[in-house]
């Protein structure tokens, strides 16, 4: 059956789909960025290594990345994306949809998402997860959402874990 649209055909659609997948798929090197070159024994250790690099950059904007378990059982943080003042949706979308390809390419399994919360005005807190942060736990493969607040209230650790309310500010 011939398409009614003169510019549409299967080759064009296939090419566009391939270009989109290449754009979304993190290159193998991206899966060893952000402290990922280290063989971290746990997801939390990988996120702490990532925190050292990205917390200083997060005064104004959120940064986010996915955490992967490698085939050898070690953990790494994938490519980091800069979001907006109150959101890091771009990281979530690009990383989440690229994950199936990343697993095929490098035997990586998605296990968590990490992101920063930028500085906030005096008297406000950013060391507790938002409703959207907690919602991420419903996505397949995301067993934990790590929050790295730019500022912390007294008694709040370096990492806030969405599954552990006792870590929240």
Q: Write down the pLDDT at residue 42.
A: 96
Q: Three-class SS of residue 83?
A: coil
pTM comes to 0.75
- pLDDT tens digits for 25-41? 444 334 444 444 567 99
- For residue 155, the number of C-alpha atoms closer than 13 Å in the C-beta half-sphere is 5
Sign of CA dihedral 82, 86, 90, 91: positive
Q: Average of pLDDT values for 103-118?
A: 82
Q: Per residue in 133-145, pLDDT tens?
A: 888 898 888 999 9
Of residues 122 and 19, the one with the higher pLDDT is: 122
Mean pLDDT to the nearest integer, 43-70: 92
Find, among 102, 104, 116, the residue nearest to 31 by Cα: 102
Percentage, residues of the chain above pLDDT 70: 70
Q: In the chain, what are the domains?
A: 27-167 (3.40.140)
| Element containing residue 67 per DSSP (H, E) | strand 63-69
Sign of CA dihedral 95, 96, 98, 102: positive
DSSP track, 36-62? TTS-BSSHHHHHHHHHHHHSTT-SSS-
- Tell me the backbone φ, ψ of residue 149, rounded to 5 degrees: -75, 140
Task: Determine the Cα–Cα distance for residues 116 and 127; give it in Å rounded to an integer.
Answer: 9
């Amino acid at each position: 059956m011939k398409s009614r649209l003169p510019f549409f055909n299967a080759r064009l659609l296939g090419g566009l789909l391939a270009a989109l997948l290449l754009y979304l798929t993190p290159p193998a090197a991206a899966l060893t960025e952000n402290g990922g070159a280290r063989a971290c024994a746990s997801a939390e250790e990988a996120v702490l290594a990532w925190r050292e690099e990205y917390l200083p950059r997060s005064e104004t904007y959120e940064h986010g990345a996915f955490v992967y378990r490698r085939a050898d059982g070690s953990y790494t943080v994938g490519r980091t994306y800069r979001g907006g003042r109150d959101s890091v949706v771009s990281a979530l979308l690009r990383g989440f949809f690229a994950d199936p390809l990343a697993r095929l390419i490098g035997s990586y399994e998605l296990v968590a998402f990490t992101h920063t919360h930028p500085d906030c005005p005096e008297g406000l807190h950013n060391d507790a997860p938002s409703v959207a942060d907690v919602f991420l736990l419903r996505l397949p493969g995301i067993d934990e959402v790590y929050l790295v607040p730019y500022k912390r209230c007294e008694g709040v650790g370096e990492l806030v874990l969405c599954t552990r309310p006792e870590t929240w500010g």
